[in-house]
Amino acid sequence: MNTPKTKDKLKELFHEIKMEKSSDDFMKNLMLRVEKEATIQKKRKIILNYISITIGIASIILIPVLIFYFLNIKITPIQLPDIFSEISSVFENFSIDPNIALLGLVILLLLLGDSILRKFLSRKNELT
């Protein structure tokens, strides 16, 4: 197909070319772009997660609704067994001190705030 003479001469010629190096700034600039791209990809992933969760919740609600609607199934009120009425009567006599309830609510809010803040800070650390 080709003479080894020509092939070798060209090969020798190519190997005579000195391998050059890219500029020193190249890697720095490239990694800056890579970081930007990684941030975009992360954001895209988060948005996709939210969208998929929303779609999941919507389908959990919508699918039974649609099944009930198209199959013309009527929902009859559920009769609670006696045991439930007994429990509800117990809770009727149950009294809670509003101060204790408020304290519990404050603790719950503080815990929620703490976990949101921690999540936010860790995400910020990941990005920087």
Partner 1 sequence: MDKSNDLYRIQCVKAGDISAFSHIVSTYQRMVYNVILRLVNNREDAEDIMQEVFIKVFKSLNSFKEESEFSTWLYRIAYNTTLSELRKKKMFFSSLEDNFSNQEDDDILNDIDDISTEERIQYLEQAIKMLSSEDALIITMFYMNDQSIEQISNITNQTVANVKVKLHRIRKKLAIEINKLIEG
Report the interface residues with partner 1, using CB under 8 A.
Answer: 1-3, 5-7, 9-11, 13-17, 19-23, 26-27, 29-31, 33-35, 37-38, 41, 126
Complex with partner 1: residue 7 or 119, whichever CB lies closer: 7
Secondary structure of 24-43 in the HEC alphabet? CHHHHHHHHHHHHHHHHHHH
Complex with partner 1: residue 110 or 121, whichever CB lies closer: 121
Complex with partner 1: residue 36 or 118, whichever CB lies closer: 36
Render the burial of 10-44: b for 16+ CB within 10 Å, e for the rest.
eeeeeeeeeeeeeeeeeeeeeeeeeeeeeeeeeee
- Report in angstroms how near the CB of residue 45 gets to partner 1 at its nearest: 11
d(CA 15, CA 42) in angstroms, rounded, equals 43
- Report in angstroms how near the CB of residue 49 gets to partner 1 at its nearest: 15
